[in-house]
Structure 1
Amino acid sequence: MSRIALLNIDTQQSFHHRDYWQEKDIPAFQQAMLGLIEGCESRHVPVVDIFHVDEDGPFSLQSGYVKPMAFLRHRPAVVFQKHVHNAFTDTGLDHWLRERDINQLIICGIRTEQCCETTARVASDLGYAVTFVSEATLTFPMTHKGITLSVDELRHRTETVLAGRFADIKTVAQALESL
């Protein structure tokens, strides 16, 4: 029997205080995220919130920003804090999932190519079946060596490297239909 959980990665107010924050993709992200969470909750799929915590800055507990973004209204089954890019290292998440015989994960949250992708890779390596709902992830343009990748390019890159190796890539509708 397959048991499923939704991992909501880093959808926290800390990001509003980063210099790369932009509102352009927020409405679509919010709609996708809320639809996925509501669909999972209505199917009794537990929602797990994971927050990134640093020692200082907007991701520190002292900042007061390590809390859900204002549009989120769900009550998570459990909340974990992480200090690295993936949601498993030193968090207790793997233990919590295995205690409940959960073997399939749906991943959404912020940043597509960083914490969401890294969590998907680690989850797959730990033996979980992973569904990556990229339309319910958010990221921002990135520049390296003078080349800027757009949000769409980063999303495509993430889907390309995960598909068939670490995760199934699905839309919100496809993920909910498969439950």
Structure 2
Amino acid sequence: MAQRVDQATQVFTKVYASVFAGTGLEAWLRESNIDTITLTGFMTNNYVIGSVAAAEPLGFNVEVLSDATGAINIANEAGSASAQQIHETLMTLLQSNWAAVSTTDQWMSALNSGSALAGSNLIVSAAQGHEQHQK
């Protein structure tokens, strides 16, 4: 594991929600022939969703570790939502089309076996959601 970390260690300072905006990360990933990024950290409702959305038009695959990310409680003029509600909703949304969402253990297993994490797609997610909420 340490060898993987040494080969992939880069430090980028960001000021926007997306890890790509103004950081040089995209250029480094392309120079390094890396096509997939794995997101962890705080916070799901800012950096994670911003980075996943920004990765799509750049052509990068994205993995999000659901148990290694987190959200905050929010309230404003549009409404309110708990951190848990935000996190679960965003993980479901991201898995539906933009990212492969897994736990850290599932990710490690896939990494060790050399297999890719499975994402879903909007059509399957919509059909499953329709079926589940018709009951």
CA–CA separation in structure 2 for the residues paired with 1:85 and 1:116? 8
Instruction: Name the counterpart of 1:141.
Output: 73
Q: Which runs of 4+ in 1 moved over 6 A?
A: none
Contact 1:112–1:134 at 8 Å: present in 2 too?
A: no
Instruction: Name the counterpart of 2:51.
Output: 119
Contact 1:107–1:132 at 8 Å: present in 2 too?
A: yes
> Which one of 55, 62, 65 corresponds to residue 130 of structure 1?
62
CA–CA separation in structure 1 for the residues paired with 2:93 and 2:6? 27
| Greater share of residues in strand | 1
CA–CA separation in structure 1 for the residues paired with 2:77 and 2:52? 27
TM-score (norm 2): 0.73
TM-score (norm 1): 0.56
1:45 Cα deviation from its structure 2 partner: 4.8
Identical amino acids, percent of aligned pairs = 26
* CA offsets 1:33-89 (integer angstroms, 9 cap, x no match): xxxxxxxx44715687xxxxxxxxxxxxxxxxxxxxxxxxxxxx1111112110101
Instruction: Name the counterpart of 1:44.
Output: 4
Instruction: Name the counterpart of 1:172.
Output: 104
1:147 Cα deviation from its structure 2 partner: 3.4
How large is the RMSD of aligned CA atoms in angstroms?
2.0
- Count of aligned residue pairs for this structure pair: 111
- 5+ residue gaps in structure 2? 112-135
Counterparts of 1:1-179 in structure 2, within 5 Å, are: 41-42=1-2, 44-45=4-5, 77-145=9-77, 147-179=79-111
CA–CA separation in structure 1 for the residues paired with 2:55 and 2:3? 22
| Greater share of residues in helix | 2
CA–CA separation in structure 1 for the residues paired with 2:82 and 2:7? 29
